[in-house]
Structure 1
Amino acid sequence: MSRKAYSFVRTFRAEPARDLCVDRHYLLCASVGALRLEAQDRVWLLPPARAALIEAGQRIRVSIPQPVTTASVLFDTAFTAPPPAPLTVFDLSPLARALVAECGEWGESDEPLPTYAETLFAALAAVTWRLAEQPSPVVVPVGRSPQLRRVLRLTEQRLGEEVRFEDLAYEVGLAPRSLARRFADETGMTWRAALRRMRVLRAIEELSTGDAPVTRIAFLVGYRSLSAFNAAFRELTGRTPTEYQASFRP
């Protein structure tokens, strides 16, 4: 009989997207680097300060843009209550990160958990289930139609450039007004709002994988003003880029 809960700590090289579905509730997070998660027509990035809580049986798509070390936990469905939602991405508190690290000693095994370990996993579930009630707003839509998916891909490829909405519309064979309506219908936001989220998401990826100066990252993701970058970053995350990067460290 496998354990009621166990930790999954492993280092991966960069990998393309692959589908994943497990029969346990899954706390997916990284201790070094960042994971990219796609589900429910949305995309999230999971640096060390964030996690995804995924209900058993939910299908997700995970990619690894750069080398990453996972520090995830899987819970038997009989060990915990179902998560608050089928899939939630949220910021990890210092307590949650400490519990994830402490649970890292107990991997998958047929041996039962000692009482101390079972108490730790139960505490981690209680803390993260509570955190999952406040999902993170840093999410990017994927889009349903081929045209919108292509526009989003082109936008992501050109984040460091001067991207023009009108040029993208004509590239996919739509009038700007038609593309704007499609954005509203399929994503519930404007292209400009999606662009801002993509830039912040890419900045989080850069912040999580190195020590590049914030100014350099701002220019890399398309901002020509550090103050504008800081304002956009704070609006979505509630913190400055420097504060957010500091949260990655234990």
Structure 2
Amino acid sequence: MARVLKTAPVSMASDPTSGAIAHWKHGALHDVVEPMADHVIMTYPTGVQRLERRNGRSIAIGTARTGVVTIIPAGSSARWDIPGSVNVVQLYLPHRTIERVAGEADMSAPRELLERTGHPDPITSRLLISASDAIEGSAALDALFRHQLNDLLATRLLAAHAGSPAIFQPTLGGLAPITLRRAIQRLHSDDDTDVSLAALASDAGLSRFHFCRAFKESTGLSPHAWLRQHRLEQAMKMLRDTDDSVVSISAALGYSSQTAFAAAFRKLTGDTPSDWRRRMR
């Protein structure tokens, strides 16, 4: 995409098991986008711009704006004509992710997704923007968050952009106590223990889809939200009981920068780490 868009992404994160997400700000585009191996799902955080896509059989015209999505199924090729600048988040989602989520939800996966150009879907749009926002911060937290969001996005695509709507069978019940304790022990770990959704689900002997549902049933929080709360509780204890600098606390808890740590801390408490420390002492 960098060659076609003639710029580098503002930010990008990738995972071999879940695909990649990138935030781009690019200028006018009049070029053919060759077929891609993954499905590409796009949304537009800000701005308004005309979109035109030609694939040889049809012409699709839409508007890039907040709350809409564009979907390019894997293997599709088209010429794009976009007359001005665009602010866009793109998710590159492997078809195997959709097949896995469909299998975990006891339904059949579609052979392909529907093509969309500037299609209204505020739910998918918000999920994509949330995934983009989690590119920088605590590596373990952000990776876990993106894994969960990718599964949510795959579920949403199956329900709203796969031809006939998918029907998911609800299942009830939380994790067994011993399974929940094992999951929490893994999330509690302060070393380099794998806290990915795949590892947590494998420990529990469940699919990722069913593990997330059961974990939330048991704790009231998603695995990502639980880990975020745990890390920030650790931060509060360190700020209150030690003289460690905010920078060292941020690094100890796995945040990529003091800025990312401060933003997460303020979102939970309403204070910066330094202000909170002064108020608690």
Task: Assess same fold via TM > 0.5.
Answer: no
Which structure shows the higher helix fraction? 2
TM-score, normalised via structure 1 length: 0.45
TM-score (norm 2): 0.40
Q: Quick check: which has more Rg, 1 or 2?
A: 2
